Amino acid sequence: MFNRIIVPVDGSHASWRATSVGDRLAVTCEADLELVYVESRLGDPVKDWIDGQMEDTTWTGSPPTLTVLDGPQGAAQAIADHFTSVNGAMLVIASNGRGRSEVVLGSVMADVLSLTAGPLIVVGPNVDVTAEPKGELLVSVDGSDLSETALGLAGAWGIGLHLRPWVVSVAEPGPVVAGDASESGYVARAAHQLSARTGRDTEFEVLHDDHPARAITQFAESLDAGLIVMATHGRGGLARLRLGSVAADVVRHARCPVVLMRPPELLFEHGGATTTDTVDA
C-alpha cells in the first residue's frame, strides 16, 4: 500500500507521538519508516534530542532512518517537497492540540496539506498512540461532490489496512422517523456504491447533532474506529486559516488518527493554496 512512512519531528514530545502511529503503519504496510526534521529551522541540538529518542524507543518494526532536510523556504515547503519526491510515501504528522483551526493542526501541517493536497494522517492530542489498530474506518460526506472525493480514498485504505468503512452524514437534530428514506437515502447510496467498487461490506449512518465534529468523533469512538477520513473544502477567508472549525474539532477530540485530504481541484486555487477550508460533515 505504501513503500515509506514519513514522520516529521521537531524536537517536541508532541511531534514524537506520531512516530508510534508511523511505526505500526510501517509494519502493517511492510514499508520503511523515515523520520525527518528541517535543519535550518531547528538546529543541531534538536538532532541530538531526536537521536536519543530513536535509541530509547522500542520499535515494533525495523528502526527508522533519520533524514535532515534543508529548508531555506520554510519547514512546510521542505517537508512537502520531500514527501512528494518519494513514490508510494505517506506522511504521518502530529498536531499540537492548542486552540482551533491551524493552531490545532499547526501551521506546518496546514501548509503541507495546502502544498500537497495530502492525504495526511494527523495524530491529534487525544489519540492513544499505544493502542492497536482497530477494524472500522469512518468517512464523512455532506452531499457535495468535494466531500465525496474522500470515498475512494476510504475504500482503498479500507482494503489496504483491513478496515471496514462506515459512511456517515450529520443532520440537524429533530424527530427521527423509522425508515425515513429521504434522510438515509443519500448515505445509503454512497455506501452501496462504495461497496460495489471495493467488493467489501460498507455500513452507513445518519448522525444528528448541532455540532458535526462532536457527532463524528463520538460515533467514531462508539465504533472504536481506527481512522476517520475527511476531505477539505476551500471557501476563502483569512489567508492563514487553512482548515475550518469542524476539522480542527475532529482532530482535537478524536481518539484515533484523522486522514485529511484536499480534493485535487483545490490545490492550486488562489495560487497554490486555498484559504479557509471546512471539512465535510
3-state secondary structure 197-226: HHCCCCEEEEEECCCHHHHHHHHHHHHCCC
Q: Per the structure block, which three cell numbers stand in for 69?
A: 532536510
- Tell me how far apart the alpha carbons of residues 123 and 29 are, in angstroms, rounded to a whole number: 18
Confidence of residue 279 (pLDDT cuts 50, 70, 90): very low
Strand partners, 204: 167
Coil vs helix vs strand at 187: helix
Q: What is residue 236's predicted lDDT score, i.e. its pLDDT?
A: 36
Q: What residue segments make up the domains of the chain, in order of their start?
A: 4-94, 136-279
% residues pLDDT > 70 (the chain):
80
Looking at residue 262, its pLDDT comes to 79
Q: Which fold has domain 4-94?
A: Rossmann fold (3.40.50)
pLDDT at 215 over 80: yes
Please report the pLDDT score of residue 134 as a whole number: 78
Kindly report, residue by residue over 135-184, the tens digit of the pLDDT.
899 999 888 888 888 999 999 999 999 999 999 999 878 665 555 556 78
Residue 241: is its pLDDT beyond 60? no
Same fold, 4-94 and 136-279: yes
Query: pLDDT tens digits for 49-66?
Result: 999 999 999 999 999 999
User: Looking at per-residue confidence, does 27 or 247 come out higher?
Assistant: 27
The yes/no answer on whether domain 136-279 falls in CATH 1.20.140.90 is no
Is 229 exposed, middle or buried, given 0-12, 13-18 or 19+ CB atoms closer than 10 A?
buried
Give the C-alpha distances (Å, rounded to integers) separating 219 from 43, 168, 199.
42, 9, 24
The pTM is what? 0.86
Percent above pLDDT 90 for the chain? 52
75-110 pLDDT, tens digit each: 899 999 999 999 999 999 998 644 444 444 567 888
β-pairing, 120-123 vs 258-261, is antiparallel
Supply the mean pLDDT for the chain: 82
